[in-house]
Structures are given as C-alpha cells and as structure tokens.
Amino acid sequence: AQKVTQAQTEISVVEKEDVTLDCVYETRDTTYYLFWYKQPPSGELVFLIRRNSFDEQNEISGRYSWNFQKSTSSFNFTITASQVVDSAVYFCALSTNGGSQGNLIFGKGTKLSVKP
Amino acid sequence: DAGVTQSPTHLIKTRGQQVTLRCSPKSGHDTVSWYQQALGQGPQFIFQYYEEEERQRGNFPDRFSGHQFPNYSSELNVNALLLGDSALYLCASSITGTAGGYTFGSGTRLTVV
C-alpha cells in the first residue's frame, strides 16, 4: 500500500525560528516522486518541490531546504528564519505514476503558525 | 498567463441534489485531475481525464462522474448529494508525458445541507 504520514498536526513557532516539517512515505515501487505543497487560507495548493526516487541530493531554495533519505523513507522540509507569511498548511505527497500524470497521495498536512 | 480556474467558488446544495463543478486548465495543459479535500484532511484523488477520457479513478462511488471537453476544460458532477460530500473540490492540470508537475486551482467549496 502507498501512504504518506505527516505526524505533526500543528506547529507553532515565533518569527525567525527554524522549523522542520516531517514526512514519512510508504511504497513498494522503486520509481516514485515526492512533493511538497503549501496551502494558504485561499485554498490553492502551491507547488514547492518535486523529487524523484533516484535523486537523494538535498536541496536548498532560499529559506527552504529539503532532506530526502530513502533509508528511512523520509522527505523532511525545513524553513529557516520563519516569517509570518509562511503560515499555512503544508502537504507532503507521493506519486508512483510519474511527475505529471496519475494520482497524488497526500498526507493529512501540517498546519504551521508563525507568530510575530 | 492564467493558472487553473475553477467555478463557482462556493456552492450550497441540499441533500439529494446534483451539482456540477467546472475547471479550466492552465494554458498548454492537456490533463485534468480532480481531488476532494474534507476539512482538516489532505486532498483525495477522485479521477483524472486525458484526451476526453477518464484515465484513472480513485476510490469514489459512481455518483461522482466527469467529463473533459475538446478544449481540455473539465466538469465534475456529483449526483444524489450526501452531507459527507461537503468539501473543497480541487482541480489540478498538467501535461502528460512531461515532468512539469501539477498546477492546482483555488477550489470550489461545496456545502451540502
């Protein structure tokens, strides 16, 4: 079975703190894609990153960084020096059908609140 | 460049009624997927349309049906509405055969009373 688990339901931090959102996935496929999306109150899912199962390099994009570890089936997301605008629900998702077709399997999301 | 457009934004229906939700994909995208997001949950895949045919379907009853038009826009129809159908319905578009990923719309908030 394919599954994504985001164990943290809600996280609250003070502005400028670093915060890590955890994601653990399950799949028997050897080829798969992992995603992170941000959902602000407006409802739209905003794409943050996509990684395929053959690329375990960590990635940094501005204040965002991602740690992909196949050995522990984890794809964690860190925001450095958090800002109030980072407040949103963050979803981790898995796809085994390719990066642009087939279905995404989402976790239940982590609600991040960044207080000034 | 317009992204994914969904209409209406909000909708209130009565149990037993039927509803149609609409989605216009991002320009250049040929594939449309629909997701249901219940309050406090992650989105769940309903189905995907490509070349005007349902290519893949999630674990949803036949009350949920869809259509894709030649211009790639899509409709989601739900018959015999239940209270449990109340959710945010998200449309995502993509280009089959590329690694471009999915673009999501802002969704339609359906409330069944």
Q: Per residue in A42-87, pLDDT tens? A: 888 999 988 888 888 888 889 999 999 999 999 999 999 999 999 9
Written as one letter, the residue type at A3 is: K
Query: What pLDDT does A97 receive?
Result: 73
Strand-pair partners of B77: B20, B65
Q: Which of B93, B104, B110 to mutate to test the interface with A (most CBs of A within 10 A)?
A: B104
CA distance A43 to chain B (A): 5
Query: What pLDDT does A98 receive?
Result: 62
Among B14, B2, B99, smallest CA distance to A97 is for B99
Q: Which of B5, B102, B109 to mutate to test the interface with A (most CBs of A within 10 A)?
A: B102
Q: Distances in Å between the alpha carbon of B22 and those of A39, A41, B31, B34, B40? A: 21, 21, 14, 10, 23
Locus of tokens 């739900």: B78
Query: Can you tell me whether residue B76 is helix, strand or coil?
Result: strand
Q: Is the pLDDT of residue B62 over 90?
A: yes
How many angstroms separate the CA atoms of A87 and A25, rounded?
24
Query: What pLDDT does A91 receive?
Result: 97
Q: Is the pLDDT of residue B12 over 60?
A: yes
Query: What pLDDT does A60 receive?
Result: 84
What value does the mean pLDDT of chain B take? Answer: 94
- Rg over CA atoms, chain A: 14
Chain B residues with at least one Cβ partner in A under 8 Å: 31, 33, 35, 40-45, 48, 50, 55-56, 58, 88, 90, 92, 94-107, 109
Q: Is the pLDDT of residue B105 over 70?
A: yes
Q: Is the pLDDT of residue B101 over 70?
A: yes
How many angstroms separate the CA atoms of A90 and A100, rounded?
20
Query: What pLDDT does A42 receive?
Result: 86
Interval A85-101: pLDDT, tens: 999 999 999 998 765 66
- Split at pLDDT 50, 70, 90, the class of B24 is very high
- Split at pLDDT 50, 70, 90, the class of B37 is very high
CA distance B10 to chain A (A): 12
Of all residues in chain A, what percent carry a pLDDT higher than 90? Answer: 72
Q: Is the pLDDT of residue B85 over 80?
A: yes
